[in-house]
């Protein structure tokens, strides 16, 4: 789950950075053209990173697989005292602490 949390955090940061860069770019055009050009380039890099992160997160099958440190585990797999299990048949699998 740590890998997925890190992925979601990076996606959130990229989203915020893209929004900030777009807003700041409009204000910078008038006073600092060099900085504005660098901001546009940075903004495009952030957009690419955001796109890559979305694509990689969409490839994860969170309904049928549990993830630990970026690796997928099938239902019934055990890891660190937890089992990948489906508590309710209609719900996605999740790590559940063994009792």
What are the residue boundaries of the structural domains of the chain, listed by start? 1-59, 61-99
Pairwise CA distance, residues 58 & 61, whole Å = 8
Pairwise CA distance, residues 91 & 32, whole Å = 53
Pairwise CA distance, residues 19 & 16, whole Å = 5
pLDDT digit string, tens, across residues 32-54? 788 878 888 888 888 888 877 77
Most confident of 45-54, 62-71, 73-82: 73-82
Most confident of 6-15, 51-60, 82-91: 82-91
Q: How many other C-beta atoms can be found within 10 angstroms of the C-beta atom of residue 93?
A: 22
The model's pTM: 0.41
């Amino acid at each position: 789950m740590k890998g997925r949390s890190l992925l979601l955090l990076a996606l959130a940061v990229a989203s915020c950075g893209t929004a900030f860069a777009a807003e700041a770019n409009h204000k910078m055009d008038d006073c600092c053209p060099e900085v504005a050009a660098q901001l546009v380039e940075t903004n495009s890099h952030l957009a690419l990173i955001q796109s890559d992160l979305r694509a990689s997160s969409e490839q994860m099958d969170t309904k049928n697989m549990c993830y630990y440190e970026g690796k997928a585990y099938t239902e019934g797999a055990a890891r660190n005292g937890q089992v990948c299990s489906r508590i309710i048949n209609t719900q996605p699998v999740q790590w559940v602490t063994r009792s």
